[in-house]
């Protein structure tokens, strides 16, 4: 029988494998490792995108001999699905293959796809949930949040000087941050399903809103471009040549925007198009994550990275907690998340 150490090592490998799949699609990144009775890896697989074999089926298909699945242990990052969509249920595929044990990290929150663990148990398969659960949850947090809540996970990003300015007094802003920060932004764009900018930014800067490499080439994964605001944008603007398409949203109803994007199977929204739209998402309490690329420079002047977010007095401040801090060249990336009820102090903490 496989040991806990073997299964933990296999789960860590499965999480690593999952990252080979696309990050910005409707489906989650999932990885699977199959172990024999001695804890040896006999097959691996990951989900390569919508309509392709799920990770469990891909791993079963990678076995040198299908008979090796008999009594084997499948270690998978997400609970095997229990429904028929573009592909069949993974729970049934594992049962049919004769797998004896399934270890998964995170329960599937989908209304139609969940229940795979129980289906496996009913078939006599030994099932364990929660191995490296925190790591696996973090790996697909935007997707999980979106499925649980019904609207996309929202990342709000801005770049600023030490004194919180997004541009000089004349409006020029290229470049406040360095190449390492810009490369990180483009990588994160590619991992989102949609990138949101305000009409003011589109009219002023004529951005392409694409994800590109350091040489300016478009990456293989691209977010849909979304332009928010009531002002019209010229049809010859670069954003309308976006490879994933561009959507104009002539409204300030941001909750409605997220609902519309959810209907398009967008799970993660990346907001970076100017102080007005970034501030609107913060004021509406719709930001799940804030990224601040802080450059070691001082600009002064009136162009702040964030404008009014509805805080009238200090007791109304929108408290967050730092989740990650990283040095990117000469810049610093600060990642913050809103406080939840779990983050608030209790009487025992007083």
Taking CB atoms within 8 Å and a gap of at least 24, the contacts of 203-211 are: 203/231, 203/233, 204/171, 204/274, 206/237, 206/238, 206/239, 207/238, 207/239, 207/273, 208/238, 208/239, 208/241, 208/242, 209/239, 209/242, 209/246, 209/273, 210/242, 210/243, 211/186, 211/187
- pLDDT reported for residue 86: 64
Strand 246-249 relative to strand 224-228: parallel, antiparallel, unpaired?
parallel
- pLDDT reported for residue 340: 72
- Domains observed in the chain: 4-140 (3.40.140.10), 150-338 (3.40.430.10)
Is 56 noted as a catalytic residue in this protein? yes
Q: Which of 7, 38, 44, 56 is catalytic?
A: 56
- pLDDT reported for residue 103: 97
Tens-level pLDDT at each residue, the chain (350 residues) = 678 999 999 999 999 999 999 988 888 999 999 999 999 999 999 999 888 999 999 999 999 999 999 999 999 999 999 877 667 799 999 999 999 999 999 999 987 788 899 999 999 999 999 999 999 999 999 999 999 999 999 999 999 999 999 888 887 777 899 999 999 999 999 999 999 999 988 998 899 999 999 888 999 899 999 999 999 999 999 999 999 999 999 998 999 999 999 999 999 999 987 889 999 999 999 999 999 999 999 998 888 888 888 889 998 888 899 999 999 999 999 999 998 755 555 555 54
Contact 210, 221 (CB under 8 A): no
Whole-prediction pTM: 0.89
Residue 77 preceded by cis peptide, ω within 30: no
- pLDDT reported for residue 170: 82
- pLDDT reported for residue 46: 96
- pLDDT reported for residue 341: 56
Alpha helices by DSSP H, 230-326: 254-263, 275-283
């Amino acid at each position: 029988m496989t040991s806990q150490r073997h299964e933990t090592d296999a789960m860590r490998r499965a999480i690593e494998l999952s990252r080979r799949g696309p990050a910005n699609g409707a489906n989650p990144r999932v990885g699977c490792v199959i172990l024999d009775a001695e804890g040896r890896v006999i097959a691996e697989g990951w989900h390569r995108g919508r309509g392709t074999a799920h990770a469990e089926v891909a791993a079963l298909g990678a076995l040198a001999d299908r008979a090796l699945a008999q009594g084997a242990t499948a270690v998978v990052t997400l609970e095997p699905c229990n429904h028929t969509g573009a592909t069949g249920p993974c729970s049934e595929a594992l049962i049919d293959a004769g797998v004896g044990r399934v270890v998964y990290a995170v329960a599937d929150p989908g209304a139609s796809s969940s229940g795979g663990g129980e289906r496996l148990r009913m078939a006599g398969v030994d099932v364990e949930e929660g191995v490296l659960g925190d790591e696996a949850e973090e790996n697909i947090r935007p997707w999980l949040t979106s499925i649980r809540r019904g609207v996309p996970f929202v990342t709000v990003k801005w770049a600023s000087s030490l004194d919180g300015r997004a541009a000089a007094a004349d409006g020029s802003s290229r470049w406040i941050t360095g190449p390492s920060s810009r490369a990180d932004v483009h990588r994160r764009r590619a991992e989102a399903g949609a990138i949101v900018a305000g009409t003011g930014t589109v009219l002023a800067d004529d951005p392409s809103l694409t994800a590109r490499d350091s040489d300016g080439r478009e990456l293989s994964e691209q977010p849909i471009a979304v332009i928010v605001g009531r002002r019209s944008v010229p049809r010859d603007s670069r954003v309308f040549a976006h490879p994933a398409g561009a959507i104009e949203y002539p409204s300030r109803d941001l909750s409605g925007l997220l609902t519309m994007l959810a209907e398009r199977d967008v799970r993660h929204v990346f907001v970076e198009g100017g102080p007005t739209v970034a501030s609107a998402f913060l004021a509406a309490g719709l930001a799940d994550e804030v990224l601040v690329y802080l450059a070691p420079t001082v600009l002064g002047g009136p162009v702040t990275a964030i404008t009014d977010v509805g805080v009238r007095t200090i007791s109304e401040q929108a408290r967050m907690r730092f989740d990650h801090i990283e040095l990117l060249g000469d810049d610093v990336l600060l990642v913050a998340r809103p406080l939840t009820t779990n983050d608030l102090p209790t009487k025992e903490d007083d």
